[in-house]
Structure 1
Amino acid sequence: MDLAAQPPQVIELDDRLTLRRFDGEADAPEFHRVIDESVEHLRPWMEWVADHSPAATTAFLARRAERWEAGEEFTYAIVLDGAISGACQIHRREETPVDAYEIGYWLHPAATGRGVAVRAARGLAEAAFRLPGVEQVLVVHEPHNHASAAVAERLGCTEQERLWEGDHEYRLWRLTRADLARVPGRVRG
């Protein structure tokens, strides 16, 4: 990837909601607390919460900074009313098509049910579509994660297929620029 073609470090969604690149050590204590308060909410969908600790949070943020600088993955803090309320990212996996990026997102339970995840996902998708050669944005999640499915649907994605990694099944959703244009709501900036 052309390192000059990275997404913005800050995506302002509205007066209350911003996506911003994590600030490693400075964000570690608050981010650890948000994860700590979200463990039971995330446990069914995200295996990494089993190893949650202050050291794991610090290591996670350090790897995110390295991967951002390498142009491999772009992870943002979801900041609602000035506080970190979750995380989201634009990334590729080995099996991701060359013209696509995948987006992912999770929220603290107190931030759910208010459209925050949909607005964050839209901001991520718009940022991904500004990168060279990107024609589609993908959302992949566990089949019983109905909240993630609802975000994908509200974003304008179309379910494509079920994927299998070993004995784990996932749902795959696809979003094109035309799909995104049909759904109201633009990101500022």
Structure 2
Amino acid sequence: MCRQPIMRCRLRLDRENIRCMEKPAESLSSDQVGLHRWRMSDLDALERAIYESLDHLVPWMPWAADPGRQQTADFLTRKQKEWETKEAFDYAITSGSVLIGACGLMRRIGAGGLDIGYWLHPRWTGRGLATMATAALVGQGFQLAGIDRIEIHHDAANPASGAVARRLGFAEVERRQAPEGPAAPGGVGIDVIWRMSAVQWKARTAEHAEGAS
């Protein structure tokens, strides 16, 4: 999916991007994708992206089984609140002016950790864009105070999500039975967990920077 080495994805971060932040930057960009914090003005574009992606999303995303304008508006409202409470930091993924997916950093794995979720409109898959967006999130996540590890979780029947983790150097650390079975119809109920430590990411970033010089 990602045909570019990560070192070519040069992120241009907002000025608020400083070490040990309490919250990540509200917008990020690379050569091919942009990320911005969700806003209510994204409602129409997000609703359209979801409906055009339903066949792609329903097998893996429980929320995709019951989409609707009100549900989408509720999602945006919830994401505004979660950002302010620092429970989660969710973004729209864009290419130019087109909203093509979503991603986010979530505090669901205990102290010192964040997990990442993402999806793309199927028209935009196969270009490495999910990998670029996820790399941006990892870089931001490790600048948040107290974060020493980031994980990516996905169902074992969805190897495409694991491919993003693998490209970024995450290590698969565990496979475990989901306590409540498959969360969505395409799943088999086995969670695959990938992990990256802050030390590993720093070393990887330095290695790529050295290779680019």
TM-score (norm. length: structure 2)? 0.80
Partners in 1 of 2:113 and 2:74 — Cα distance? 27
1:71-150 equivalences under 5 Å are 71-93=86-108, 96-150=109-163
Query: Is residue 8 of structure 1 aligned with residue 38 of structure 2?
Result: no
Task: Compute the displacement of 1:61 (Å).
Answer: 0.6
- State which structure, 1 or 2, has the greater radius of gyration over its C-alpha atoms: 2
Query: Is residue 160 of structure 1 aligned with residue 173 of structure 2?
Result: yes
- Structure having the higher strand fraction is 1
TM-score (norm. length: structure 1)? 0.90
Instruction: Give the aligned residue type for 2:27.
Output: V
Equivalent position to 2:57, from 38, 42, 55: 42
CA displacement, residues 135-181 of structure 1 (integer Å, 9 cap, x when unaligned): 11100011111110100100110001113232232100001234334
Instruction: Give the aligned residue type for 1:44.
Output: P
Task: Compute the displacement of 1:182 (Å).
Answer: 2.2
Query: Is residue 19 of structure 1 aligned with residue 35 of structure 2?
Result: yes
Aligned to 1:51: 66
RMSD: 1.4
Tell me, which stretches of 5 or more residues in structure 2 are unaligned?
A: 1-20, 182-188
Partners in 2 of 1:6 and 1:128 — Cα distance? 9
Task: Compute the displacement of 1:17 (Å).
Answer: 1.1
Equivalent position to 1:30, from 40, 45, 67: 45
